[in-house]
Amino acid sequence: MACGLCGSGICADEKFKKQKNGNVHRYVYYGCTKARDKNCKCGYIEEKELVKQFEGLIDKIDLNEISVKEKIECSVKKIKGFMKFIFNKREDIDMNKIDVRNYVKYVLREGEDVEKRELLGCLKGDVLLSNKTVSLKS
């Protein structure tokens, strides 16, 4: 992902906010690294909003189907192992019935950071962040 205004990279900035009652909230903001333009006005976007915008773009983005399918197979293998270990059941899951795009949306919403990064590495097109909006390079 790159800045749509200056072409620099995008980095994450993690913030923690402690409330008076003792709760701690974690926020992650993404914005321009300003490597190419120190005065870039790209803005920052919160991770939750970034994921929501990505989910909207998934149907338009060209995914590297082979890499994504390998990740799905790995997840299915994990699920089968879990079912066998916990419930002593063997589940047959038809790989051809799994919707790749819905899998990607699920991982973006529910997956670990490492899984999200791996999936974003499967994207073929250029994704730009500009004025707090994620878009595809045209």
| CA separation for the pair 79, 75 (Å, rounded) | 6
- Residue 110 tokens, joined: 């529910």
Rounded-to-integer distance, Cα 99 and Cα 89, Å = 24
pLDDT for the residue numbered 129: 87
User: How many helices (H) and strands (E) are present in the chain, helices listed first?
Assistant: 4, 6
Strands (E), 19-111: 24-32, 44-46
pLDDT in tens, the chain (138 residues): 888 888 889 898 999 999 999 999 999 999 999 999 999 988 899 988 988 898 888 888 777 777 888 888 888 888 888 888 888 877 777 777 788 888 888 888 888 888 888 887 777 777 888 888 888 776
Q: Could you give the CA distance from residue 94 to residue 76 in angstroms, rounded to a whole number?
A: 10
Measured CA to CA, the distance from residue 130 to residue 75 in angstroms comes to 33
pTM of the model: 0.72
pLDDT score for 65: 73
pLDDT at 138: 60
In sequence order, what DSSP letters do the residues of 89-112 get, joined into one string? Answer: ------GGG--HHHHHHHHHHHS-
Q: What are the two backbone dihedrals, phi and then psi, of residue 40, each rounded to the nearest 5 degrees?
A: -60, 135
